[in-house]
Amino acid sequence: MSFRFLSAAGAFVRVASLAVIGAVSLAALPAAAQQATPACVTGPVVGLKTPRAAQALATKRALTIVAIGSSSTVGVGASSGARTYPGVLQALLRNRFPGTEITIINRGVNAEDVPENLARFERDVRDLKPDLVLWQVGTNYVIRSFGVGNFGDLLRKGIGDIHAWGADVVLIDLQYSPWVNGKPNTAAINSLIASTARASNASVFPRYALMRNWAEVQKIPTSQTLIFDGLHLNDWAYDCFARSLAASLIPALGARTRAASQ
């Protein structure tokens, strides 16, 4: 059996999966044995600060967004590029703001976190001239058990660089998954992401709280949100995450657009 994932170059490739040797394809199961697809309850809607992006959308009728991060930005576990969170989000924003040109550029690279992201910021952020950067951070930092270290300083530098290049920043915090939940610095890193964003005039989308709600409130088992490795999202989870992010992002982007049309 093999597993398809999206490479850093943006192409889907197929590799052997040791973890699923002997597993039975879902398609081979009788319908009664397959789990029903859970409903996506979007939220929570959080106030995101994206004034520069909103201004660009209102005046230029165009918006460039860079999504940067690691494998959950790349879309490991998604069945196609369109089913990654940047792919779904782009479709949602284009549908919500017809007559505009909205492009989301996926600059995720597998296994990276803040230090590696910063090393390619000039090429993968500055040179693309985005209006908004969605920066997914922290999960690999926690998994590697780096402690807290200089995470906050690096994050602050990255936010400062993005602002200096004329873009807004929305940080995306940790994933809720078995790989992350039991680590000793999970709460500390999530708290540091939030406090650094507040101090740096950036926003945070609470992915950890969203995914925790799926598991603990909605009682959706991780077998229905994560792929076989217990870390990466499946198509349903990427879709619901993107819809929840859109529910918070659209009001932030739309305020100036509505004012300009009046």
Taking residues 10-25, what's their average pLDDT? 32
Run of H or E including 164:
helix 151-164
pLDDT band at 45 (very low <50, low <70, confident <90, very high): confident
Instruction: Write the DSSP string, 68-98.
Output: EESHHHHTTT-SSGGGSHHHHHHHHHHHHST
- Predicted local distance difference test score (pLDDT) of residue 22: 29
Q: Which fold has domain 41-261?
A: Rossmann fold (3.40.50)
Among 110, 62, 123, smallest CA distance to 84 is for 110
Summarize pLDDT for 176-202 with one digit per residue, the tens.
Answer: 999 999 999 999 999 999 999 999 999
**Calpha distance 137→203 (Å, rounded):** 13
- Predicted local distance difference test score (pLDDT) of residue 257: 52
How much of the chain, in percent, has pLDDT values that exceed 70? Answer: 84
Taking residues 24-50, what's their average pLDDT? 66
- CA dist list (Å): 154 to 112, 118, 175, 260: 14, 8, 20, 37
Strands (E), 7-89: 12-16, 62-69
| Cα-based torsion angle of the residue sequence 142, 181, 216, 111 in order, rounded to the nearest 10 degrees | 40
Summarize pLDDT for 94-122 with one digit per residue, the tens.
Answer: 999 999 999 999 999 999 999 999 999 99
Provide the mean pLDDT of the chain. Answer: 87
**Residue 21 C-beta-side C-alpha neighbours within 13 Å:** 4
- Predicted local distance difference test score (pLDDT) of residue 11: 38
* Residues in CB range of 199: below 8 A, 6 or more apart: 156
pLDDT(31) > 60: no
pLDDT(26) > 90: no
Among 225, 199, 202, 200, smallest CA distance to 212 is for 225
pLDDT(262) > 70: no
- Predicted local distance difference test score (pLDDT) of residue 146: 86
pLDDT band at 17 (very low <50, low <70, confident <90, very high): very low
pLDDT(1) > 60: no
- Predicted local distance difference test score (pLDDT) of residue 99: 94
Lowest mean pLDDT among 42-46, 58-62, 93-97, 241-245: 42-46
Taking residues 152-164, what's their average pLDDT? 99
For strands 101-108 and 2-6, give the pairing. unpaired
Summarize pLDDT for 217-259 with one digit per residue, the tens.
Answer: 999 999 999 999 999 999 999 999 999 999 999 999 985 555 4
pLDDT band at 57 (very low <50, low <70, confident <90, very high): very high
Token couple for 223: 């077998």
